[in-house]
Amino acid sequence: MDILKTAVFAGSFDPITLGHVAIVRRATALADKVIVAVGNNSDKKYMFPIEERLLRVQKAFASMDSVECRAYDGLTIDLCRKCGAQILLRGVRSTLDFEYERQVAEVNRLLAPDIETVLLIADPSTATISSTMVRELLLHGKDVSNLIP
């Protein structure tokens, strides 16, 4: 009997970028199902409301049958358990990202040793794209159509 592998790729996706899409595309080769989870943290100020962020994520992956999109509150590792995910997927653009993600992965391993964190290095063509940068450009009225799906 084959065990289906499920991966969770979580983020605020405020907004989703081509870098996020590239990571998820690569993740579909590692897992049978990839859940793109749009986080909602009541302590964080977002540019776009959760409903719009989720809708944008759903549109970005509408043609990918193995990708499921959902919103969530709480700890990502708890979502992984709830979904039966074996993999927590994270994208890394730089050494700063790596150090932060390494620390989070260590805590998650303590909380859920059965869930493996997998770090995917961003493709050089999308490594400079961040949601923070896209939001800043949007605030200044710049065209970001080449950075977001």
Q: Which of 33, 90, 130, 131 is catalytic?
A: 131
Q: Which of 42, 44, 140, 145 is catalytic?
A: 44
Coil, strand or helix: which one is 36?
Answer: strand
Q: Which of 20, 33, 53, 90 is catalytic?
A: 20
Taking the chain, what is the end-to-end CA distance rounded to the nearest angstrom? 37
| Cα 134 from chain centre | 16
Residue 125 annotated to the active site: no
Q: Where does 7-130 have alpha helices with state H?
A: 18-27, 50-60, 76-83, 95-111
Exposed / middle / buried, residue 26 (Cβ in 10 Å: 0-12, 13-18, 19+)? middle
Q: Which of 56, 90, 93, 130 is catalytic?
A: 93
Residue 44 annotated to the active site: yes
Residue 131 annotated to the active site: yes
Q: Which residues are catalytic?
A: 20, 44, 93, 131
